Amino acid sequence: MKTIYYIFLGIIITLTGYNANAQDYATSLKTPSVYTQYFLNPFFINPAHTGFDKQSKIVLNFRNHWAGFDNSPKGLTFGINGSPVSNMGLGGILYSENFGVANRFVGQGNYAYNFKTNNETKMSLGLSGSYIRYSLDNEAITDPNHRSGDPLINAAVNGENYFSADFGYWAEFANKFKLGITLPQIVLANLGENKKADTSKPFSFIGFLGATWRVPEYRLVVEPSLCIRKISDVPFGTDLNVLAKFLDDKLYLGFTYSFGPSDNRTGFLAGVRVNQFRFIYSYDQSYQTFQTFSRGSHELTLSFDLGSKKNSMNTETMTEPSMGEMPKENN
């Protein structure tokens, strides 16, 4: 069966990949942003998921990494995701991060082309283009430990500008299995005086494999997933996720265990949906020695559904009835 073949091929491809949650901020501020709730909003890490669900939404995400540690990394993301016309997804992301005196700003646009290969398989190819600005605060110069006239620090205060492009692939089989592949920053070009591509950057890859199990008699949906990532020069890592949705997606509970050569972490997630609003909170804690100096990491997501679009991708064969509409089996 072709569907099983695609899933098996996807597992092989995914297992050759890698985890950005443990990336080294001090050396990798230009790498993709860190999220732990990416499986709720995959378009943050994979442009191919843009408009895939035909659900337009606005998403606001805040992450406080290593809480309690002075000048710890804090990231704020604003995203919009939708499908304005049939088979097309368009979206945008604004991201701002501060880590001590280091700052990063990202403006990103996503485009995706969604299509069907048969009545049980949906796929999408996506591209994103990003403007990235990296800079240091003036405090880097006024700090008493700074040696005046340092050309590298002076240049960093003035800022560095980059253009990057990402490629993504996303697929769903039998309305149950999910497969995603992202190649972050396949193009990374300096927009400053040295206008040439960065040929020394390490190869990056994100692989995602998930499934959906529905238990209509309990109004429950369980979504286990696996994410393997290799971001920049950080060693690869793996996320094992389990997300449970209760009462027709009104309540959310989740658990994540991350492991790899550079970090081992556990994370817990809880959320609620009220009409078009979703509020999700997650907490994760590392098992590194550094954890003794921080109070873990906190992430908050607030999203608002703008409405769904039905088109050729959402035919009767592709859409399952909601939990409340599913007939109960006779005992």
- Side-chain-side CA neighbours of 49 within 13 Å: the count stands at 19
Distances, alpha carbon 161 to alpha carbons 91, 104, 130, 134, 166, in Å: 22, 10, 10, 6, 17
| Domains, in order of start, for the chain | 2-325 (2.40.160.40)
Q: What is the pLDDT along the chain (331 residues), one digit of tens a residue?
A: 444 333 433 433 333 333 333 333 334 445 567 788 999 999 999 999 999 998 899 999 999 988 877 778 899 999 999 998 888 999 999 999 988 888 999 999 999 999 998 888 999 999 999 999 988 887 767 666 666 666 777 777 778 898 999 999 999 999 899 999 999 989 888 887 655 545 566 788 999 999 999 999 999 999 999 999 888 777 788 999 999 999 999 999 999 999 887 678 899 999 999 999 999 999 998 887 766 677 889 999 999 998 776 544 444 334 444 444 444 444 4
pLDDT of the residue at 222: 97
Residue type, 304: F
DSSP state of 290: G
pLDDT of the residue at 204: 86
Q: Measuring CA to CA, which residue among 216, 212, 174, 214 is closest to residue 327?
A: 216
What is the residue whose two structure tokens read 């710890």?
72
Residues forming a β-bridge with 155: none
Distances, alpha carbon 331 to alpha carbons 68, 167, 295, 328, in Å: 55, 49, 50, 9
- Spell out the SS3 assignment of 72-127: CCEEEEEEEEECCCCCEEEEEEEEEEEECCEEEEEEEEEEEEEEEEECCEEEEEEE
**What sign does the CA torsion over 95, 243, 207, 19 have?**
positive
Residue 324: count of CB within 10 angstroms of its CB: 9
- Using DSSP, state whether 147 is helix, strand or coil: coil
The span from the CA of 123 to the CA of 127, in Å, is 14
- Side-chain-side CA neighbours of 111 within 13 Å: the count stands at 4
pLDDT of the residue at 16: 34
- How does DSSP assign 204-235, residue by residue? -EEEEEEE-EEEGGGTEEEEEEEEEEE-TTSP
pLDDT of the residue at 191: 87
Beta strands in the chain (DSSP E): 55-64, 74-82, 88-99, 102-118, 121-136, 160-173, 177-190, 205-211, 213-215, 220-230, 237-246, 251-259, 265-274, 277-286, 297-308
Tokens of 194: 């040295």
pLDDT of the residue at 67: 82
pLDDT of the residue at 214: 94
pLDDT of the residue at 219: 93
Q: Are 146 and 101 in contact (CB under 8 A)?
A: no
pLDDT of the residue at 313: 46
In sequence order, the 6+-apart residues with CB closer than 8 A to the CB of 256 are 36, 239, 240, 241, 242, 265, 266, 267, 268, 269, 282, 284
Q: Are 265 and 287 in contact (CB under 8 A)?
A: yes
In sequence order, the 6+-apart residues with CB closer than 8 A to the CB of 244 are 220, 221, 222, 223, 252, 253, 254
pTM as predicted: 0.79
